[in-house]
Structure 1
């Protein structure tokens, strides 16, 4: 019997919260490491949040995504590498997370060089210490 790779794909839930273990305006968990083909389900546990990819913080060839405010969105990550994810309304408050796809993911040298709000950069640095 043959099984397709999709049969083994996993779904990881990430909650968008006004307050969590790491403070205010957070994704929980803020860092996930998944295999190519796995899905992240972004759940607006608290209202007024969205999840969207950051074009300058994703692997070449990867497809971006943008959820609507208060929308639960499932995103399947097929391209290995790092993905920065933000909540647009709360980006300046540091509401960001990192999705690492693959086993041996390395941070590109220029990954944090874009124009990031101070709190967002601090949270990305903390998340990337998990690599």
Structure 2
């Protein structure tokens, strides 16, 4: 996995246009897309192919993106996008990558990045018993895993 601050910077460094599909944008929000939804990533469920990218956009201030380590795929590089920073992350390995906004995890500000084919049933079971995960975050990850398993 590789973090790039902007796609434009990458294009300037390489001098070529990106060959892959453009990155999927995930916005970091104080108010989510659904009525009454607060502190959310939008969308909270993203599917990308292996080698696909996700662009994290700090639409509202006060948010970051960090791996949920207890559920992170074994051997995958860590992920941290600092507060109020934009970054594009390329996922080179298949798996389910759960992320959180560290100050708002307890309020359910989590998202799932599903890369390639992944066993959502296995992930949902792991999420249900993950140590130290706030109840709202656990519940939202379960809903997202269920939705990912149906698509």
TM over 0.5: yes
Could you say which structure has the higher helix fraction? 2
> Where do 4+ consecutive residues of structure 1 move more than 6 Å?
none
Cα deviation code 1:51-96 (max 9, x no counterpart) = 1111222222211111111111211111101011000111111100
Query: Per the alignment, do residues 111 and 39 of structure 1 end up closer, same or farther by CA in structure 2, a change over 3 Å counting?
Result: same
- Name 1:98's counterpart in structure 2: 112
TM-score (norm 2): 0.77
The gaps in structure 2 that reach 5 residues or longer are 1-17
Is 1:73–2:90 an aligned residue pair?
A: no
RMSD of equivalent CA atoms: 1.4
Q: Distance in 2 between matches of 1:111 and 1:80?
A: 18
Q: In the alignment, which residue of structure 2 is the partner of 1:20?
A: 32
Pair 1:30-2:39 in alignment: no
> Counterparts of 2:97 and 2:128 in 1: how far apart (Å)?
12
CA distance in 2, matches of 1:100, 1:93: 22
